[in-house]
Amino acid sequence: MKNRIFIYLFIFTLLLVIFQFVNSKNIIENYDQKLTNYMEKNTQLKDSILMMEDDKASNIYTFKFDTNDDAMTYWEKRGFRISEFVPFIKDELMNLNVYNTEDHPLVPYASMTDKKMLIDQIRMLNHKWIIVSFTDGTYWGEMLLTYDLENRENLKFRVVESTLYQP
């Protein structure tokens, strides 16, 4: 009788060990599979980030004065410091927003509301071109300007093209 109890206990223990082994093996395989999937996904995401950084690097240069070495060199050779030049140009454009006449001195469209047309955003493209957006609060548009600074006090803006969007 005592032998049978030991045999039953031995069989029960053996079954319990086999069950634990199979269960642990399945859990470990499942974790390994998840880890492999995460590692593959991580590699894909890193590749995507590298591609986006390459795209960003190529797009940063495009049409931005701050990253255009040729445009900055153009004005530096004429004796201007870029750190003072860009704010000077933007300030001069913003100063045109202070006017007493009915029409803005640079914006080719008259305001169709009671408010004045004002320049609100400026983006210097290179050493000759600027894109400017303007608005009167209801209507808005954009202009492509050329600028020239013959001497330190003779700054001239010329509208090359403009568009007015409908609200």
Half-sphere exposure of 106 (CA within 13 A, CB side): 29
Quote the tokens at residue 32: 């390994």
Give the alpha-carbon dihedral of 67, 70, 73, 77, to 10 degrees.
-160
pLDDT digits (tens, 9 = 90+) for 51-106: 888 777 666 656 778 778 888 898 889 888 888 888 999 999 999 999 888 888 99
Half-sphere exposure of 105 (CA within 13 A, CB side): 11
pLDDT digits (tens, 9 = 90+) for 24-59: 999 999 999 999 999 999 999 999 898 888 777 666
Q: Where are the domains of the chain?
A: 1-62, 65-165
Give the C-alpha distances (Å, rounded to integers) separating 45 from 33, 52, 55, 58. Answer: 18, 10, 15, 20
pTM above 0.75, yes or no: no
Q: Strand 155-165 and strand 129-135: pairing?
A: unpaired
Quote the tokens at residue 104: 């803005």
- Which residue has tokens 């202070």? 98
